[in-house]
Amino acid sequence: MEKIAVLDSGGQYCHLIARKVRELGVYAEIFPVGVNADETRGHQGIILSGGPSSVFDAASPQPDPRLFETGKPILGICYGHQLLAKHLGGKVERGQTHEFGSATLRVRDEGGLFDGLAREHRVWMSHGDHVVRLPENFEILASTDECSVAAMGQAERGVYGLQFHPEVIHTPDGPAMLRNFLRNACGCAMSWRPKDRVDILVQQIREQAGARRVLFFLSGGVDSTVAYALTVRALGSPKVEAVYVDTGFMRDRETLEIEEAFSALDLGRLRVVDASGLFMGRLRGIADPERKRVVIGQAFVDVQDEILANDEYRDQGWVLGQGTIYPDTIESGGTDSSDVIKTHHNRVKRIQDLLEEGRVLEPLSEFYKDEVRELGRSLGLPSKLLERHPFPGPGLAIRCLCSSSAAGPAADERIAALAEQYGYSAFLLPLRSVGVQGDSRSYAQLTVLHGAELDYRRALPLSTAITNEFRHTNRVVATLAPRRIEPSEWRIRPATLTPERVRLLQRVDRAVTDYLRSDGLYDRVWQSPVVLLPWSRDGGESVVLRPITSVDGMTAAVAELPRDGLLALASRLCEINGVDSVLYDVSNKPPSTIEWE
């Protein structure tokens, strides 16, 4: 069987590379980047993934030097591109500028990786360091405005480096480039196709569970429902139980909708536990987003332990089932070299302890959202359930931003000058959100654009330009209502989670969902978070709309929804008591995560 070895340097997209290779018809296996070169002996080629490290770091992950003596075709991506240059005699320098997001690639050599492709391509960048001198006998194959060596190669050896990410959806011709590597450089017939994935998963569940029963805490979302349905298929409904914990941070009417949807599946009984008082009580007074996630994760575990303390569970013949998917683990630092982007509630210490004890079943942990939906379809789950927008386990608790102190907007002359070139005014807000830049976590301030109507042709490239040039901001929003803001009149106020703020967010979120459905837009976006900010002129809240398009959640692009409909929606939202402004998040991922916290 033809195989490709994907060496993981801790990049956010390592498993996405492997998945794309499999989709192209070649079986891909993932190894740590430092794997013994002998382990790759049976593989037709090697791909070095990106990663959060710099080749200049003393502790940066490094490959076995003998890897480059095997004579196998090698493709280096992002950090892997820089590793190639370093190990083969080239030179890497820290860049004066950073590229995060879309860029235009101009091809110099149309052969090799670019065989049969156009001279210009839209590609996805996420890097700071640059290759400035090629290894001996290598050629520059393509460049961007900010990166002279965006692609390099030595065709005779089948060794190539790409500074950009061909594996993500936002490099449209990336699959063709990977196909050229597999076919032209590695000589793969590309005839492998995944078969009986459900049957393989069912067998794995049976082997891991053994004689034990499985308790699932369902969120009602796609991941946990598909994981539960798979486990019922494997073990039968008498050995699998489902509990839905209402945290109080669900969307409007969501608990009722989940109960109705589950009853129609005929997969067993769903027990509903109202723990809203417990969760709100634990989170009272907490403003720090990471602390919120940890507290929520521990609260879930405590509810689980309380249930397992009942007599029917005292025999310890139980394992915990979870719908954890791969982005949850990779963004939580789930591989040896990966950076923690955010703490996932399925990865708090108690869950880690249970994992080490072999008491957690996660049948979807190597899959992405689109693959989970595919599995769900093969199980016969209804499309209405499978096409629901993803919703985070912590719920609205992480979409209701908090602040421990009062603050006002801050002027930034350089950002304002850049924004002016695009027809906008701009200032900074000291409300921080999570981002991912160069495969590493960032926690930076918010840039607000105002003074002009939302125009994607100007706002989107401006957002990319701002986050590329200024590392102290990783997210950009544009005002929908009011269009112009006098920054000195608006303040961030101290705020934590309260029932009143959550109810307001539920009401706003419902209005946004109704708008998407009524205008036929719901299925055009992958997810549409609504975020509440304690920033206002009159003591109310600001609402941020965050609709995005994506395939797997690892990368995402701003959804360019019709402006007239958005402006009408913003006007309706401002009529809700407590809403002072409506903003539109114009940040791609990277540099911004989909969720703000």
Among the listed residues 62, 8, 65, the one whose alpha carbon sits nearest the alpha carbon of residue 37? 65
Mapped onto helix, strand or coil, the DSSP state of residue 580 is: strand
353 pLDDT tier (thresholds 50, 70, 90): confident
**CA 255, CA 92: separation in Å to the nearest integer?**
53
pLDDT of residue 551 exceeding 90: no
Q: What percent of the chain has pLDDT over 90?
A: 63
What number is the average pLDDT over the span 36-44?
96
What number is the average pLDDT over the span 58-79?
94
**CA 99, CA 145: separation in Å to the nearest integer?**
10
pLDDT in tens, 6-21: 999 987 678 889 889 9
The answer to whether residues 320 and 241 touch, using CB atoms and an 8 Å cutoff, is: no
More confident of the two residues 86 and 341: 86
pLDDT given for residue 440 in this prediction: 63
**CA 472, CA 10: separation in Å to the nearest integer?**
24
**CA 271, CA 489: separation in Å to the nearest integer?**
49
pLDDT in tens, 492-502: 999 999 999 99
**CA 30, CA 335: separation in Å to the nearest integer?**
11
Q: Which of 42-51, 99-108, 417-426 has the lowest mean pLDDT?
A: 99-108
**CA 313, CA 74: separation in Å to the nearest integer?**
52
Longest dimension (CA), the chain: 71
SS3 content of the chain, % helix, strand, coil (to 5): 35, 25, 40
121 strand-pairing partners: 105
The answer to whether residues 222 and 369 touch, using CB atoms and an 8 Å cutoff, is: yes
Among the listed residues 523, 548, 230, 553, the one whose alpha carbon sits nearest the alpha carbon of residue 369? 553
pLDDT given for residue 195 in this prediction: 47
454 pLDDT tier (thresholds 50, 70, 90): very high
Two tokens at 73?
């075709």
**CA 312, CA 308: separation in Å to the nearest integer?**
8
SS3 for 194-205 is CCCHHHHHHHHH
Active-site amino acid positions = 78, 165, 167
pLDDT of residue 329 exceeding 70: no
347 pLDDT tier (thresholds 50, 70, 90): low
Q: Which of 13-17, 184-188, 456-460 has the lowest mean pLDDT?
A: 13-17
pLDDT in tens, 112-149: 999 999 999 999 887 778 899 999 999 999 999 889 99
Handedness of CA 362, 368, 372, 374 (dihedral sign): negative
**CA 388, CA 371: separation in Å to the nearest integer?**
14
What number is the average pLDDT over the span 198-217?
92
What number is the average pLDDT over the span 244-263?
90
Two tokens at 90?
């080239």
Q: Which of 12-26, 247-261, 313-327, 518-532 has the lowest mean pLDDT?
A: 313-327
pLDDT in tens, 288-323: 888 998 899 889 889 988 887 777 766 768 888 999
H/E element, 563: helix 563-574
Residue 429 CA: distances (Å) to CA of 199, 269, 552: 51, 47, 30
The answer to whether residues 556 and 101 touch, using CB atoms and an 8 Å cutoff, is: no
Q: Which domains does the chain have, with CATH numbers?
A: 3-185 (3.40.50.880), 197-395 (3.40.50.620), 413-585 (3.30.300.10)
Residue 280 CA: distances (Å) to CA of 105, 274, 546: 49, 12, 25
H/E element, 499: helix 499-518
The answer to whether residues 436 and 408 touch, using CB atoms and an 8 Å cutoff, is: no
H/E element, 386: helix 383-386
Q: What percent of the chain has pLDDT over 70?
A: 93
What number is the average pLDDT over the span 76-84?
95
104 strand-pairing partners: 122
Q: Which backbone phi and psi does 587 adopt, to 5 degrees?
A: -110, 130
pLDDT given for residue 336 in this prediction: 54
272 strand-pairing partners: 244
What number is the average pLDDT over the span 153-170?
93
